[in-house]
Each structure stands twice: as C-alpha cells, then as structure tokens.
A = this chain, B = another copy of it.
Amino acid sequence: MSATQDAPANCKVVLASTIAKKLGEEVREGVKTLNKAPLLVGFLSSGDPAARTYAEFTGKTCRENGFDFELREVDREDLEDAIIAANQDSNVGGIIVYYPIFGNRQDQYLQQIVDVGKDVEGLSHQYIFNMYQNVRFLDAAHKKKSILPCTPLAVIKILEHLQIYNTILPYGNRLHGHNITVINRSEVVGRPLAALLANDGACVYSVDIDDVQQFHRGQGLRKRKHEVVEKPGWTLENCLPLSDVVISGVPGDKFKVPLNLLREGAVCINFSSEKNFTPEVKEKASIYVPAIGKVTIMVLLRNLLRILQNRGESDATPADSLETRGTVEESNPA
C-alpha cells in the first residue's frame, strides 16, 4: 500500500521550434499591419560555411513569415560602400552582415557602419550602450524600444516562455531571486546576456575560461543597473551548486557542463552549436532546452519589425504588436 515505485527521471525537454512558433505568430501579426513586405538585406563577404548556412536559413525564415530577403554577396573590400548604399536606400528595411569577415577589429568597425535605424542585430554602439546601462527606450516618451542583440534576446524570450520571469514581480525585476550561471563571456553573446539577466534582477555568475564574475544589482536590487564583481578563485564548482538556471555556450565539442555540480531541478539551456550538456542532464534538470537557433532567427525578424516601428514606417501603435508580458522588452512598465 505504501510501496515506493520509482519512475524515469522527470525532465521537460523544450524545443526551440515550440518557442519559435509562438514568436512567429506574433511576428506575422506585426507584418500584417504594414503596407508591404519589409525587405531584409543580408551581406555575405566570406567563404565561411556557417555564415552561408545562417544566411540561407535567414532567407527561408523571412519568406515563411511574410518578409522579403535579398542576399548580396560582395567582396569584403567593397562591403563598406555596399552597406552605405543600403543605408541610403529607402527600399531596404533592415540590414544584417554575416560575420566573421576580416576576423579582426575591422569587423567591429563595419558593425558601426550599419545605420542605427536599420541595424536588426542590435550591434550599433548606441544599442549596446543602452543594454549595458539598462536604458530600455530611445526616446523620452518611451515609444521607441532600444534594439537588443538577437542571441541574448533569444535566451530572454526562452526564459520568459519557461516562466522563469515571474510576472507577479514588477517589470524590470522579474528575475529577482534567481541565480543564473552563464558559461561563455564573449562580447557577442555571453557578456551581453549576463548584463541583460542581471539588469532584470538575477544574480548572474559569468564564467569564462579564466575567471568568474558576478553581475548583480545588489541586495534588494537597490541599484538601477547591474555591477560586475570579480570572484577570485571561483570556478564552476562554486557557481553551479548555487544556480537554478544554467546557460552554456562554449564552442567546440570538448567542453561539457559537469553534471555532478548541477543543482537538482536546475533549468538548463544550451546555446552552443555543439551540445554543452551530455544527455544525462535529463537525470537532474527540471527543464532542458538543447538548442536555441530557431528562436534567434525569429528574434531577428522581430527586431526588424521593431526598427520599422521606431522609424515610424509601421502603422501599428509603436511596439504594440510585438509586446508580450514580463521581459526586458515590455513597453508599459508597471
């Protein structure tokens, strides 16, 4: 009568396609409010096969969701002029450049060539500055949302879908109480992601190959933006047992998250193209998201709609058709 029956481990695997589908509906609703299909122009200037695959996938997703996409393959020496021409062409709604191109600081230079009003990737300095400073709007009237970089924003949208953002808390503080480990501190994903999560109230452990940094708004979230504190001597052994959410994006197939350090019932998200979690993660995690790519590309289209709204080229109430509750993206702070 009181016999204990053991069952398989309970882990909910959530696929990016499920979340992308939901975002897709939102995006297609937004496109309907426009007079014509928005044109996204992609620039491919390298032989990098991953860049070409990403470009092709962008095109496919654009067409499936009511956007036009044009891939412009130009020599890298001509790229700067080509971007400037696209900036000036009123038929071009948004611009995406497939990096790496030179693979050095010249790539960062090119990122600043794209017009801020056409930058769907959120790489312009103004957007990056706003993100780190926890400034969410471009205008005093709070009608124009600052653009967030696609991959970090995709992780945010996933955490929102997983209800890790608690909508009972006020806008801007909805990760309060969560300890989150982010493994990867690249300028493109890991560091902006840690900043976004901490600005929303989480205590974030940002783990790099060399060190651990804590991103946090302080006890009671008294600070209006996060601060970064070095944690000398800390490693994953310190961070993982504290963390209810673990997000990993280490490139290559060498690194695996040490599951013995994982907290029972942790939420685990992989954003590396290689799997940073071995399949046994399902023995301990409450929720596991094995990949995020499909969400990232949908966020890119979402950003394109957003910049059209910011430029006043959409008839929709600014930002309205894009909004869902609970995240850094919400338009009406409580």
Q: Is A227 an interface residue (CB 8 A)?
A: yes
A207: CB under 8 A from chain B?
no
Q: How far is the CA of A263 from the CA of B283 in the complex (A)?
A: 26
A203 CB, nearest partner CB in chain B, Å: 6
Contact with B along A281-317 (1 / 0, CB 8 A): 0111011000000000000000000000000000000
Q: Which of B4, B162, B168 contacts A168 (CB 8 A)?
A: B162
Q: State which size class the interface on A falls in.
A: 35 or more
Roughly how many angstroms separate A132 CA and B287 CA in the complex, as a whole number? 26
In the complex formed, the residue of B with least CB distance to A169 is: B12
A223 with B4, Cβ < 8 A, contacts A173-B10, A176-B286, A244-B244 known: yes
Mask of A176-191 contacts with B, CB within 8 angstroms, 1/0:
1110000000000000
Q: Is A222 an interface residue (CB 8 A)?
A: yes
A100 at the interface (CB under 8 A from B): no
Q: Is the CB of A221 within 8 A of B9?
A: yes
The residue from B161, B170, B263, B266 contacting A12, defined by CB atoms under 8 A apart: B170
How many angstroms between the C-alpha atoms of A266 and B1 in the bound complex? 37
Q: Which residues on A are within 8 Å of B, measured CB to CB?
A: 1-2, 4-12, 14, 133, 161-163, 166-170, 173, 176-178, 201, 203, 218-225, 227, 244, 263-267, 282-284, 286-287
Return 18 A-B CB contacts under 8 Å, by A number: A1-B133, A4-B225, A5-B224, A7-B223, A9-B219, A9-B221, A12-B169, A162-B166, A169-B286, A176-B286, A177-B267, A177-B287, A201-B286, A203-B265, A219-B264, A219-B284, A220-B282, A220-B283
